[in-house]
């Protein structure tokens, strides 16, 4: 393996020949470089995509900051090189290295990989291969780094179970510290890798796949998972932070443009809305908020340390933040003279008030994004997004009248029970919104419709339903392309083949790990990039392994089927998810959890944490007042029996 000095020397020959060499140099403002030889534990934080995307990942930025605050730990970064740089690295035999000190990843004690979405899986294998690390966990010994992964996609980690040593299920701020402590303790003596993995499995929220064996029925459906270590937990409950840690403010300032050239400040974690399609809304419960003063202080420190001129106030639903209007007003009062731009990326139609739009008046007047997700009130009841069409049109009028010229509306096609008439309604609604804008600002009114395709995700009320076939998706997209055009209208849509891949991976079982590996061998990587997406590499992989891809995407799963991700618990009761699915079939909505608790299971599961942190507001007034609405077993008997 090359030394850092040798890597630096070879980079001197390579970097002038590739696009954006600033992706590969390090040396940015606020990077942390420690004395390698004096630090006990070295952690490489890897985002398995290019620098331009990975630098905007808030999760890795938080872990980088937290780990480097420890005197006994150093954390450095690595990203997957673009194709030109990868070819040069393989030609020059340069291993994947850290940006800070140019050490090969194989020199680190721990490699932490962020997997926020499934289409990063083959690029993860590519990163390990470039690093010279065995792709399969079973082939690694004590001389290799510990390979861990976390992120939203790991709530069903089974398609990557063979390649990752341990997964952090849930929030990683506390778990990463405990993982480091165990690695340090075992390194003081001699230990075998199985001993390390057993010790890691005792950490709350850590899942070690090699300690479990999956079993299947004759028809190929998942039957059960068996513990191979009697002390391993089952189920594995997600990790949760009782209170949000202090926000990161010393963000690394990149040399090259990134996908989000702004500083992100998380104002709230979790969501109480209960959209039935929303994976993030289900797995990040309960809601925890930062105070306005804490957010303002974080913004001030971030500006001082970074010089960013745009701040993103992040959450799953920013306009549901309790004090959002006060926050935006105070931001403009405090930073107005500095011409700071503030973005609220996740605004809900029903909570976008006139006061909030007025408070945003100091921001840029480009586009304003809303997400109705469906165009008819019938469909919005099915997905539990109870917004009336008149409410949307009224909100649009208010937005246009306050100086915004473009509204972007996000929709999904492929929801359960959707018809072509429901898809046509997307066209009609978009045209109606533009018509409202023209009444206010004339021909300057524009609308962009972003139409993605629904994938039924694990741990949601829709986990039982199938995904649309490619033929169904194309028929719906063809209708939109034909009808949704004209002055002021623009349509964006997803590749239906990419939707199939996302569905395979998000709904897969352990047998999918071999498909991922074979697809990578067939040349699959950068699956989220349209120009590199290789559908044939995946279909050939399914054929090689002997699996039917339609098994994972196109069948309706019975209510009593055991899911291959069920041993990973979000603590949302399956009875709750089942009932919510049945309510969707009736077009029955659940109101916001802030108004009434439906006993999903999240708050009782973490009651101990609430007692330890009595000052934290975990939003569920019914529970806090001792009133819990229970879901009785007999309520579901007609459902399970098919009546």
For residue 330, the domain's CATH number is: 3.30.750.210
Span 128-157, pLDDT tens digits? 999 999 999 999 999 999 999 999 999 999
DSSP string, 599-636: --SHHHHTHHHHHH-TTS--S-HHHHTT------HHHH
Q: Find the distance separating the first CA and the last CA of the chain, reported in whole Å.
A: 64
551 and 583 belong to one structural domain: no
CA atoms within 13 A on the CB side of 65: 16
Structural tokens at position 12: 């001197």
Nearest-angstrom CA–CA distance, 514 and 510: 8
User: Please, where are the H alpha helices in 336-415?
Assistant: 354-359, 377-382, 389-401
Task: Say whether both 306 and 404 belong to one domain.
Answer: no
Same domain, 41 and 186: yes
494, two tokens: 């997803």
pLDDT reading at 641 higher than 50: no
Structure confidence at residue 158 (pLDDT): 98
Residue range 537-567, pLDDT digits in tens: 999 999 999 999 999 999 999 999 999 999 9
For residues 244-265, give the mean pLDDT: 93
Does 251 reside within a domain? no
598: pLDDT confidence band, cut at 50, 70 and 90? confident
Look at residue 175 and tell me if it is in a domain.
yes
pLDDT at 603: 82
Name the domain boundary from 361, 385, 412: 361
Percentage of the chain with pLDDT > 70? 93
Residue 246 lies in a domain: no
Residue 625 has pLDDT above 60, yes or no: no
* Residue 31 pLDDT exceeds 80: yes
> What is the average pLDDT across 28-54?
97
The sign one gets for the Cα dihedral 422, 428, 430, 433 is negative
Residue 583 lies in a domain: yes
In a domain, 242, yes or no: no
**Phi, psi at 27, each rounded to 5°:** 85, 10
pLDDT at 621: 40
pLDDT confidence bin for 630, thresholds 50/70/90: very low
Q: What are φ and ψ of residue 313, in 5° steps?
A: -90, 105
Q: Nearest to residue 372, comparing CAs of 387, 382, 384?
A: 387
pLDDT grade for 274, boundaries at 50, 70 and 90: very high
Q: Please report the pLDDT score of residue 352 as a whole number.
A: 75
pLDDT given for residue 29 in this prediction? 96
Distance CA 98, CA 32 (A): 12
The answer to whether residue 327 scores a pLDDT higher than 70 is yes
**pLDDT at residue 174, as a whole number:** 96
**∠ at Cα 201 (198, 207), nearest 5°?**
130
| Per-residue pLDDT, 361 | 63
Give the pLDDT confidence score for residue 243 in this predicted structure. Answer: 87
Q: Is residue 252 part of a domain?
A: no
CB 251 within 8 A of CB 61: yes
- Same-domain status, 478 and 494: yes
The rounded Cα 223 to chain-centroid distance in angstroms is 28
Is 36 in the same domain as 166?
yes
Number of H helices, E strands in the chain: 24, 19
pLDDT, tens digit (0-9, with 9 covering 90-100), for 341-350: 888 877 788 7
Give the residue from 92, 99, 77 showing the smallest Cα distance to 4. Answer: 99
Over 60: is that where the pLDDT of 461 sits? yes
For the cut 70, the answer to whether the pLDDT of residue 245 exceeds it is yes
Residue 2, pLDDT above cutoff 60: yes
Residue 155 per-residue DSSP state:
G
Structure confidence at residue 376 (pLDDT): 95
| pLDDT at residue 610, as a whole number | 61
Mean pLDDT value of segment 615-626 = 43
For residues 593 and 620, the answer to whether their CB atoms sit within 8 Å is yes
pLDDT at position 72 over 50: yes
pLDDT at 613: 57
Structural domain range at position 228:
4-235
Q: Are residues 330 and 392 in the same domain?
A: no
What CATH number is associated with residue 135? 3.40.50.280
| DSSP state, residue 276 | T
Residue ending a domain, among 336, 361, 386, is 361
Does 615 fall in a domain? yes
Is residue 633 pLDDT above 50, yes or no?
no
Helix, strand or coil for residue 459? Answer: coil
Average pLDDT over residues 260-275: 93
Query: Poorest-confidence range of 10-24, 236-250, 361-375?
Result: 361-375
Q: Any alpha helices (H) in 486-606, and if so which ranges?
A: 496-506, 512-521, 535-545, 550-553, 574-585, 602-605
Residue 167 inside a domain? The answer is: yes
Check residue 635 and give its pLDDT.
40
More confident residue, 373 or 340: 373
pLDDT, tens only, 464-522: 999 999 999 999 999 999 999 999 999 999 999 999 999 999 999 999 999 999 999 99
pTM here is 0.93
Residues 196 and 316 in one domain: no
Strands (E), 152-231: 166-168, 206-207, 212-216, 222-227
Distance of CA 599 to the CA centre of its chain: 25
Given pLDDT bands bounded at 50, 70 and 90, which one contains residue 362?
Answer: low
What CATH number should be reported for the domain holding residue 486?
3.30.750.200
Same domain, 396 and 354: no
What CA–CA distance (Å, rounded) separates 157 from 146?
17
Identify whether residues 93 and 142 lie together within a single domain. Answer: yes
User: What does the block give as tokens for 501?
Assistant: 């891949």
Are 495 and 634 in the same domain? no
Together in a domain, 496 and 577: no
Alpha-carbon distance 393 to 439, whole Å? 12
Out of 524, 557, 590, a domain closes at: 557
Q: What is the mean pLDDT of residues 13-34?
A: 97
Same domain, 208 and 305: no
Q: Quote helix, strand, coil % in the chain, to nearest 5.
A: 45, 15, 40
The model's pLDDT over 199-220, given as tens digits with 9 standing for 90+, comes to 999 999 999 999 999 999 999 9
Count up the domains in the chain and report the number: 4
Give the chain's mean pLDDT: 91
The pLDDT of residue 631: 36
């Amino acid at each position: 393996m090359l030394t850092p000095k040798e890597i630096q020397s070879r980079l001197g020959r390579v970097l002038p020949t590739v696009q954006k060499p600033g992706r590969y140099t390090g040396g940015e403002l606020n990077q942390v470089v420690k004395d390698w030889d004096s630090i006990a534990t070295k952690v490489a934080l890897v985002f398995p995509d290019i620098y331009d995307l990975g630098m905007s990942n808030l999760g890795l930025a938080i872990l980088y900051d937290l780990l480097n605050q420890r005197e006994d730990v150093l954390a450095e970064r690595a990203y997957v090189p673009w194709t030109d740089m990868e070819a040069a690295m393989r030609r020059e035999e340069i291993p994947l290295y850290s940006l800070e000190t140019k050490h090969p990843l194989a020199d680190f004690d721990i490699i932490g990989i962020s997997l926020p979405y499934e289409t990063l899986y083959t690029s993860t294998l590519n990163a390990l291969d470039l690093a010279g690390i065995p792709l399969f966990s079973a082939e690694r010994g004590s001389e290799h780094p510990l390979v861990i992964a976390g992120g939203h996609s790991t709530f069903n980690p089974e398609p990557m179970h063979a390649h990752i040593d341990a997964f952090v299920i849930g929030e990683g701020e506390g778990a990463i510290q405990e993982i480091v402590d165990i690695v340090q303790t075992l390194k003081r003596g001699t230990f075998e890798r199985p001993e390390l993995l057993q010790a890691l499995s005792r950490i709350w929220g850590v899942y070690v796949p090699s300690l479990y064996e999956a079993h299947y029925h004759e028809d190929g459906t998942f039957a059960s998972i068996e513990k191979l270590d009697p002390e391993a937990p089952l189920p594995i409950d997600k990790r949760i932070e009782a209170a949000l840690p202090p926000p990161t403010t010393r963000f690394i300032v990149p040399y090259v443009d990134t996908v989000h050239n702004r500083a992100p400040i998380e104002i709230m974690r979790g969501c109480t809305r209960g959209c039935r399609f929303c994976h993030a809304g289900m797995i990040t419960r309960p809601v925890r908020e930062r105070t306005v003063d804490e957010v303002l202080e974080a913004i001030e420190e971030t500006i001082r340390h970074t010089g960013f001129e745009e701040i993103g106030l992040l959450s799953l639903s920013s306009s549901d933040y309790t004090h959002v209007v006060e926050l935006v007003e105070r931001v403009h009062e405090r930073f107005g003279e500095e011409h700071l731009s503030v973005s609220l990326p996740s605004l809900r139609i029903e909570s976008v008030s006139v006061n909030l739009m007025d408070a945003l008046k100091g921001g840029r007047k480009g586009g304003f994004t809303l997400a109705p997700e469906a165009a008819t009130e019938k469909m919005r009841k099915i997905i539990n997004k109870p917004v009336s069409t008149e409410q949307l049109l009224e909100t649009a009028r208010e937005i246009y009248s306050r100086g915004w010229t473009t509204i972007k509306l996000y929709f999904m096609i492929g929801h359960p029970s959707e018809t072509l008439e429901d898809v046509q309604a997307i066209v009609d609604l978009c045209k109606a919104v533009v018509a409202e804008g023209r009444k206010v600002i004339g021909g300057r009114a524009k609308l962009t419709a972003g139409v993605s395709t629904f994938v039924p995700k694990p741990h949601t009320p829709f986990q039982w339903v199938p995904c649309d076939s490619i033929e169904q998706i194309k028929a719906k997209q063809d209708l939109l392309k034909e009808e949704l055009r004209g002055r002021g209208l623009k349509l964006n849509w997803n590749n239906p083949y990419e939707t199939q891949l996302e569905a395979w991976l998000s709904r897969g079982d352990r047998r999918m790990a071999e498909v991922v590996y074979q697809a990578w061998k067939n040349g699959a990587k950068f699956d989220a990039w349209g120009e590199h997406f290789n559908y044939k590499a995946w279909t050939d992989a399914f054929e090689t392994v002997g699996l039917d891809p339609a098994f994972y995407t196109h069948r309706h799963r019975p209510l009593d089927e055991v899911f291959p991700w069920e041993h990973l618990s979000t603590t949302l009761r399956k009875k709750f998810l089942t009932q919510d699915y049945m309510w969707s079939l009736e077009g029955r909505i659940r109101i916001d959890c802030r108004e009434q608790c439906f006993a999903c299971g999240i708050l009782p599961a973490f009651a101990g944490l609430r007692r330890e942190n009595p000052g934290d507001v975990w939003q569920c007034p019914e529970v806090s007042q001792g009133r819990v609405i229970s879901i009785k077993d007999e309520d579901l008997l007609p459902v399970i029996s098919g009546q």
